[in-house]
Chain A
Amino acid sequence: MPLFEKTLYSTDFSPLAEVALDYVKKLKEAGEKEVVVVHVVDDLSIELPEGADLLNEKELYKILPEVDQEYVTSLIERLEAVKKILEDEGLNVKLYLKYGNIPKQIVEVAKQEKVRLIVMGAHGKGLLTEILLGSVSTDVIRNAECPVLIVKRREE
């Protein structure tokens, strides 16, 4: 059964999201072939339309203030680095850099791409490091239609 064939890896580039990447890699042994990597931006200095695609809509990029352009460029580099890691494992990779409400966009991409599983951290970059379950994970659990794998810490 192709239960893990296509997965979505949602990352805020936090240490725990990096741990979640280990699980994404491991799932290859259980039939995973393609990984959709998603990062959502909600903190630019200007407002963009909900769901704007910062990776492919070049016109959009051009209207951004310089600080935002630099920020977006650095995020694209980080996404490319994740892509490289997963491709080296023999997985097919598709990247998304979206603008908007974070959990909403993650759930939306999962639906569009018809992924079989979402892999993410239990918390992320939030300031409360002792937080047990972040707001993004909570919302994704509630609204995703597919199974969700919540990673809590690196395996000892």
Chain B
Amino acid sequence: MLFERVLYPFDMRKASLGVKPYVLKLKEAGCKEVHMLYVLLPSEWGFVAKEEYDSEDKIEALRGAIDDGYVDGLIRIFRRMKEIAEEFEASGIKTRIVLIPGELDETIGYYSKEYGIKLVALGITDESLSFFRVGKVLDIIKAVGSPILIVKSPEEDGAKGLE
């Protein structure tokens, strides 16, 4: 099944929401499972133990080890993803939400291999294709073995990571 298991890297920007209607539509072409992945970039999050944070409990367990503000931030991200996941679930697509620390391309590459992902759906902005940043997107494309759907949104909403 070509679109059975989709990886949806999510970064809280408007552009990553652009992907959602496509994933929902792919249900008709056999999409059964969506994995929403937020990658915790070391530059933004400092050192977080390398684990798959797929529940609020796992995130809460970080209290003490890392700054409380960070933990609150992670919980907010998790809940935001959960809201979106509910839309997938409501249309019959099983959804996993997970936060993983690491570099973007490596983590997406690792995850798609590990979980037998059939399609990576990437929401990007024109800005991410600008001369200075296009390398990031291309690195992700190069890092995964599965097909990649690239959905472009025209404008950047200014939000950096999470607010």
Residues of A within 8 A of B137 (CB): 141
B142–chain A nearest beta-carbon distance, Å: 4
Q: What's the Cα separation between A144 and B22 when bound, in Å? A: 17
Q: Is the CB of A26 within 8 A of B2?
A: yes
A33–chain B nearest beta-carbon distance, Å: 13
Q: Given A3-B25, A122-B141, A149–B30 Cβ distance below 8 Å?
A: no
Residue A148 at the chain B interface, CB threshold 8 Å = yes
Residue B38 at the chain A interface, CB threshold 8 Å = no
The B1-56 residues at the A interface (CB cut-off 8 A) are 2-3, 21-22, 25-26, 28-30
What 1/0 flags go to A22-46 for Cβ under 8 Å of B?
Answer: 1100111111000000000000000
Residues of A within 8 A of B26 (CB): 30
Residues of A within 8 A of B30 (CB): 26, 29
Residues of B within 8 A of A138 (CB): 138
Q: Is the CB of B149 within 8 A of A147?
A: yes
CB-contact partner of B2 in A142, A152, A155, under 8 A: A155
A77–chain B nearest beta-carbon distance, Å: 28
Determine the interface band of chain A, counting residues with CB < 8 A from chain B: 20 to 34
Residue B152 at the chain A interface, CB threshold 8 Å = yes
CB-contact partner of B25 in A4, A26, A146, under 8 A: A4
Q: What's the Cα separation between A85 and B109 when bound, in Å? A: 33
Residue B151 at the chain A interface, CB threshold 8 Å = yes
Residue A145 at the chain B interface, CB threshold 8 Å = yes
Residues of B within 8 A of A155 (CB): 2, 118
CB-contact partner of B129 in A3, A30, A141, under 8 A: A141
The B106-151 residues at the A interface (CB cut-off 8 A) are 118, 129, 134, 137-138, 141-142, 144-151
Please, which residue of chain B has its CB at the minimum distance from the CB of A150? Answer: B148
Between A and B, 11 residue pairs with Cβ closer than 8 Å are: A26-B3, A30-B25, A141-B129, A145-B152, A147-B22, A147-B152, A148-B149, A149-B149, A150-B141, A152-B146, A152-B148
Please list the 8 inter-chain residue pairs (A to B) with the smallest Cβ-Cβ separation, ordered nearest first: A30-B29, A29-B29, A132-B142, A147-B151, A30-B28, A151-B147, A150-B148, A148-B150
